[in-house]
Structure 1
Amino acid sequence: MNMATTQKAMALRALHVPGDPLVVPNVWDAASARTVESAGFPVIATGSAAIAPVLGYDDGEAAPAGEMLAAVARIARAVGVPVTADLERGYGMEPAELVERLAAAGAVGCNLEDSDPRTGTMVDAGEQAAFLAAVRAAASEAGTGLVINARVDTYLHGEGTPDERLAEAVRRGRRYLQAGADCVYPILASDPAAIRSLAEEIDGPINIAFHPGTPSLAELAGLGVARVSFGPGLHRAVQAYTARMVAAIKIGQSPYGPDLPDR
């Protein structure tokens, strides 16, 4: 593996600092990636739920792996900073293939989630840990330095009380770090007390998804968060604004005015 790839992976890993989080406004194509890079962000992160509809598919691994990775490759070619890709649960690829194809696309990091994207069923924690360990081993063998962001879906698809979901997220997060993950991503965790507990009890870098109702970026830093991402939020906002512009054109108005009609 070339030195530039390894250096980008090292740079990405080093940016995961609890209390001084890496902020990644997730992108969906080369143009949005260039916009984020031009704003001064040091890393580009893709979002599967943003790229999939751009490609004409639903999220949930409906997009073929080849098309998703081709989109990641176009993004990586368009920017000079490290790129980390949301690969859902790997699109059915074996760990060695996943590592090889990610590297070929120019990505040095990836998200991997612990629920079945097609059904929403939680994957057994031991099975997921074994998968992550195999990805880590394949990355070590290939020398890519791949940065693994292990998504924990207990707040999305888990069961039980908030305390039970928190405990399960901590249990899974610790196990995934032990398996070789670099960061743990308890998606949809938004309660400040729960976020603080996750950061303290997982005892490793955690990623929080920013959405309406999430603590501010400054508050997330104070809670010990190491990474903040936006998932498909920016893409959905752009699509909603585009819909309002189109609605203005439809009724004979300028789409560039300050008061656009609702859809």
Structure 2
Amino acid sequence: MSQQSQAVAFSELHQKYNPVVLYNIWDAGSALAVAQAGAKAIATGSWSCAAAQGYQDGEAMPFSSLLHTVQRIASVISLPLTVDFETGYGAARRDNLSALLQAGVVGINVEDQQLGLSALNGVREQCEILNSLRQEAESQGITLFINARTDVFLQQPDATQHSALMAEVKKRLTAYQNAGASGFFVPGLSDVGLIAELCDVSALPVNIMASSLTPPLAELTAAGISRLSYGPYPYIGLMETLKQQARALY
């Protein structure tokens, strides 16, 4: 299957009421394990990729290391591959995307937070970033799935306050869609009523990140999500198991 065919196939996996489930991986070995378990697509997680190489999340791992990891993953799988691109690794984000596309990537996550700060990019600024990335993908003939992530909910840990944030989130949803986004990612949102409200108004596939606070998959499916991802939790869980096994030995 060509890269463009994979891009189209990956986009088609995003179906309302029938979400694609992405159990996020961090290297070639974990990608193979998840692929062999029956996954329909492979997705990296930035936190996991960084931690597996001894780095903190937030683009502390050099882009060259991320690219090498992605190249190794792409070399051992035949499934569509989407990569957590964080904010794009600085002003060179368009060149960085070009390198990822050349490695075979068909999807990316792009977030609107300002790294290291408790602030988000302005809507116009984030739209300029999304539009630039869309242009780069089009120049290479790839219908890239750009999953536009907003950190509005992550920046408010008190879930009882999330309903008050919906207006801002909906504004960003519309703007990001117009700027070329393919999907809308809202990590931190766990209230099934608010999730359903967002899915009802969104023309883009909505992506929720599973956590201990989110409802079961059946409820999220009924709410209308199109994608469920697991972020750092697979890595965290497996590393805890590893530590427990090591403690039993030592």
TM-score (norm 2): 0.95
Kindly tell me the number of residue pairs found equivalent between the two proteins. Answer: 248
Identity, in percent, stands at 35
SS in 2 for 1:157: coil
In the alignment, which residue of structure 2 is the partner of 1:21? 19
The 3 A distance-change label for structure 1 pair 144 and 99 is farther
Is 1:125 the counterpart of 2:123 in the alignment? yes
Alignment of 1:1-263 (within 5 A): 4-157=2-155, 161-250=161-250
CA contact (8 A) 1:150 1:185 kept: yes
CA contact (8 A) 1:5 1:144 kept: yes
CA contact (8 A) 1:158 1:165 kept: no
TM-superposed deviation, 1:46: 0.1
Greater radius of gyration (CA)? 1
Q: Tell me how far apart the structure 2 counterparts of residues 143 and 155 of structure 1 sit (CA, whole Å).
A: 34
SS in 2 for 1:94: helix
Root-mean-square deviation (CA, aligned residues, Å) is: 1.5
SS in 2 for 1:103: helix
Deviations along 1:74-112, one digit per CA (max 9) or x if unpaired, are: 111111100000010001143531331111222111000
Amino acid at match of 1:49: W
Which blocks of at least 5 consecutive residues in structure 1 are unaligned? 251-263
Q: Tell me how far apart the structure 1 counterparts of residues 211 and 33 of structure 2 sit (CA, whole Å).
A: 20
Q: Tell me how far apart the structure 2 counterparts of residues 121 and 55 of structure 1 sit (CA, whole Å).
A: 27
Deviations along 1:7-28, one digit per CA (max 9) or x if unpaired, are: 1111111111111001000001
Amino acid at match of 1:42: K
CA contact (8 A) 1:154 1:169 kept: yes
Deviations along 1:121-148, one digit per CA (max 9) or x if unpaired, are: 2111111011101111111112122110
Amino acid at match of 1:153: D
CA contact (8 A) 2:156 2:162 kept: no
CA contact (8 A) 1:61 1:118 kept: no
Which shows bigger deviation, 84-93 or 152-161?
152-161
Which blocks of at least 5 consecutive residues in structure 2 are unaligned? none
Q: Tell me how far apart the structure 2 counterparts of residues 53 and 105 of structure 1 sit (CA, whole Å).
A: 22
SS in 2 for 1:130: helix
Deviations along 1:36-68, one digit per CA (max 9) or x if unpaired, are: 111111100000000101112100110111101
Amino acid at match of 2:123: A
Q: Tell me how far apart the structure 2 counterparts of residues 168 and 180 of structure 1 sit (CA, whole Å).
A: 19
TM-superposed deviation, 1:72: 1.2
